[in-house]
Structure 1
C-alpha cells in the first residue's frame, strides 16, 4: 500500500460501497453514481473503482503506482469471494467489465471492455452451462471481448472488426449479429484473433489477469496523455479531467428475449410531475444501444415485454430523481428479467 509522508495509506481503489455522488473528482462521474446507488440499496452489479489519482500519478511519473496491482488484486479477491466464482475459472467463470469515467467525460473518450475473463478454455466451460441458447451466448460474449480488447487496448482499427462481421452477415443475408448462429460466432472469434495478431503483432491475451491489467492501463492512458498536448485548453474542464476506471461483475443483456439494455430519460412537466422516456433494445448489451448499431424500441414497450422490470425501473428512477436535482438519464440492463442499474447520469455542466 502507498503511504503518505505522515504514514497514512493512500488508497488507489475504492469499493462501490465507499464514496458517493459528491466523489466524482476522485471516482469519476460513473464511479460516483455507482457508489451513490449502492449506498441507496439500488440494484448495482458489485465492483470497485480505480481512482483518478492513478491518472495523476501516471501523468507525473510516466508509470502506474507500483502499489496499484496489489490493491486491485485485493478488491478482486473480495469480489470473487462474494460471488463464489473466480476470474479465469474454466466452468462458469466470473466475468468483468472495465469502463473509464472522468468527472466531466469528454465526448467519445470512454474506453469500454466487456467480458474480461473469457479465453479459449473458459468459453467452452461457459457454453456447457445449462440454459437455452447458452452456447451461442458464450461465443457471442467471447466475440465481444476480442473485438473490444483488440480495438481499445491493442490498437486494431474498429472498422476492421466491423468488416469481418459485415462479410459474415452478408453471406447469411442477415441485418445484424442477432441473425448469426454459434458456428458463425466461433468462426468470427477465430478471425478476430487472427486480425489482432496480424495488426498488433501480439497474440490475443489468454490470461484473464493480463486482460484486466491491459484494460485498466488503456482506460487511464488516453486522458493522461492528453495533458501533454500543447493545444489543450486549460479552461475546458472536460479536456483536463483525469479518468477513473470502474470494474464490475458482468451482467448480460444478450441472454435472450427476456434480457436487454436501455437508457431511461427523466423528464419533467410544467405541472411539477415527471415522466420516463427513453429506449430499450432486447437481447443486447448497452454499447449496442449507445452506438445505435441496432434499432431500439421506445422505452414504453418494456412495460409490455417485461412489466415487472419496467415497474422496478420506474421505482428506481423516482428514488434517483428525488436524490439528484439534475438527474437526466439512467443506463440499465435486464438479465433474465432481473433489473440492474449501470449509471445515473447528471446534467452536463456545459448545457
Structure 2
C-alpha cells in the first residue's frame, strides 16, 4: 500500500490519475486540500511543493493504534525528495527547509482540524533562516509562532497561556500590535514560551524530525477531536473517512510590505454577483486572516466594507499580483465549473496558491450563481437545479426584518450571512446549547469565534462578533449553516467576565433580547 503521493513529482501525479481518475475519488484518497494541491500543480498553477499522506493511512493508523509499518520510512524518503527539489535542508543552520503540516478531510470542515506552520525551526535553524532571508525579526517571529502552535495543537497546552505571555511582552515593550515587537522582544518571547512548556512538563523538541513525527500524529488524532466529531454530526459526515495530512513547503506572507496573505472567492458568496471578492492582510501569515484578529484590507474596490474602506486595496498596492490572482481565479472557476474559495500567499511579490475548494455561499448566492453559470455555458440546466438544495430554498424564505418597522440601532458590523434573528444574548457556547435545549432562542455573542464554538453556533439563532472580517471563521461557518451573522462589529465592547457588552452607550446584559440583521449588518 502506498501511503504518500508527492504532487510535485510527475510520476506521482500520473500514478494518482490512474488510481483516482475522477476528482471525487481523488478527494476521497487525498482529502479536499491534497486533491486541490495536486490538481492545481497538474494544470500549471504556482503551488508550493509538498506531499500528501492518504486518508487510508489515517484509517490504518487508528486500526493499528500508531503509525502503520513503513509509513515513517516513506515520510523520510519524501522529505529527501523535497529537499532535493527545493535545494534546502530540513533543520539546517545555513539554508533551512520549513514545512507546514495540515489536515485535509475528503469533505471541507473549515477550521475543525489542526494545522501547524513553520515546522523545522529550532534554536539552530532560526539563525539559518535569519541569514537566508536577511531578516532577523521575521525569523524569530516565525519561531515563536511555531512554538505557540505546536504547544497548543500537539501537546494540548491551552493557547491562552501563550497569549498571556505575548500580552506581557507587548506591555513591557509598549507595543499595541504583535507586528510592533522587535527582535529582542521576540527572542524574549521564545524563552517565555519555552517556560510555558516546562510548566506542563514538556520541552520544545530541537530535532526537526521529532517535530514532524509528532505533528503528523497530532493531525491524525485531530480527526477524532471533539469539535470535529460535533461538526460531522451537524453536517451528516461519516466518521470513517479519515483525514489526509499535507506536508507543504512554507511560503511566507510575513516577509515585509511586498508580502501578504488572503482569501478570495471567484464570485461574491453573499449575493452571487460575478465579481472577484476577498480580503488580504499585508505582511501576515495565513492564520491571521481566518482568525480575524487584524482588520483585513479588501482585495479590490468591490470588496470594501465600512471597517476597511480607509485601507488601501490589494489591487492598489500590488497591481501585478492582483492581475495574476484575477486570471487564476477565472481559470480555476472554469476548471472546476463552480464558485471557488481560494487561499493564497504573496511572498516578496510572488503569488502562491495554498488551497482551492468549492466556496460556501448563501442561499441567495446559490440560486444566482447556478442561473448565471447556465447562461455562461459552464453548467447545464439539470446541474443548476441540483446545485440549489432544499435547505437553500428554505433559507430564502428566512425571516427578514420589516423595512417599515421602527428600529433602535445599537451597533453596525459586517453583514456576513443574511437573514434576521431575534434571541437572548449569551456569551458562552455551552450556555447557548443549554438554553436552546429548553426551547429558548439565543444569539451567540463572542469577541471572535473559533472552531471550539461550533456547538454553540449550531444552537444559536444568529451570531454576532466584535472582530473578524467577511472570510473569518464565524462568517464562513454561519454562511454554511444558513444562520444570520454580523461580524467585525468593532463598536462592541464585550466584558465576558461580567456578562455584558456596551455599544453606542447602551449596556446590553446577558439574556437581554437583541435582533441582528445579517443582511445589513445592523444590531437592534
- The reply to whether TM is greater than 0.5 is yes
SS at match of 1:45: coil
1:32-66, Cα deviation, whole Å (9 max, x unpaired): 11011000100000000011112111222212212
Change (3 A) 1:280 1:230: closer
The equivalent residue for 1:98 is 101
The answer on whether the counterparts of 1:88 and 1:118 sit within 8 Å (CA) in structure 2 is: yes
The answer on whether the counterparts of 1:105 and 1:241 sit within 8 Å (CA) in structure 2 is: no
Decide which of 43, 48, 53 is 2:46's aligned counterpart: 43
Gaps (5+ residues) in structure 2?
A: 18-22, 301-312, 361-386, 392-479, 481-524
Change (3 A) 1:236 1:299: same
Structure number with larger C-alpha Rg:
2
The equivalent residue for 2:129 is 126
The equivalent residue for 2:6 is 15
Change (3 A) 1:317 1:274: same
The number of residue pairs the alignment matches comes to 337
CA displacement at 1:256 relative to structure 2:
0.4
The answer on whether the counterparts of 1:176 and 1:294 sit within 8 Å (CA) in structure 2 is: no
Structure with the greater relative contact order (CA < 8 A, sep ≥ 6): 1 or 2?
Answer: 1
SS at match of 1:275: coil
Runs of 4+ deviating beyond 6 Å: 229-232
CA displacement at 1:327 relative to structure 2:
3.2
Aligned Cα root-mean-square deviation (Å):
2.5
The answer on whether the counterparts of 1:55 and 1:224 sit within 8 Å (CA) in structure 2 is: no
1:80-127, Cα deviation, whole Å (9 max, x unpaired): 011111101111201111111101243432211111111011111222
The equivalent residue for 1:345 is 357
CA displacement at 1:190 relative to structure 2:
0.7
| TM-score normalised per structure 2 | 0.61
The equivalent residue for 1:187 is 188
Q: Are residues 1:176 and 2:189 paired?
A: no
CA displacement at 1:231 relative to structure 2:
12
SS at match of 1:129: helix
The equivalent residue for 1:207 is 207
CA displacement at 1:194 relative to structure 2:
1.1
Instruction: State how far apart, in whole Å, the 1-side matches of 2:252 and 2:242 are.
Output: 29
The equivalent residue for 2:424 is none
The answer on whether the counterparts of 2:109 and 2:231 sit within 8 Å (CA) in structure 1 is: no
The answer on whether the counterparts of 2:259 and 2:347 sit within 8 Å (CA) in structure 1 is: yes
| TM-score normalised per structure 1 | 0.90
The equivalent residue for 1:304 is 316
1:207-234, Cα deviation, whole Å (9 max, x unpaired): 00111111110001121467xx899849
The equivalent residue for 1:4 is none
Gaps (5+ residues) in structure 1?
A: 1-9
SS at match of 1:332: strand
Moved more, 339-348 or 202-211: 339-348
The equivalent residue for 2:20 is none
CA displacement at 1:141 relative to structure 2:
0.7
Instruction: State how far apart, in whole Å, the 2-side matches of 1:295 and 1:175 are.
Output: 14
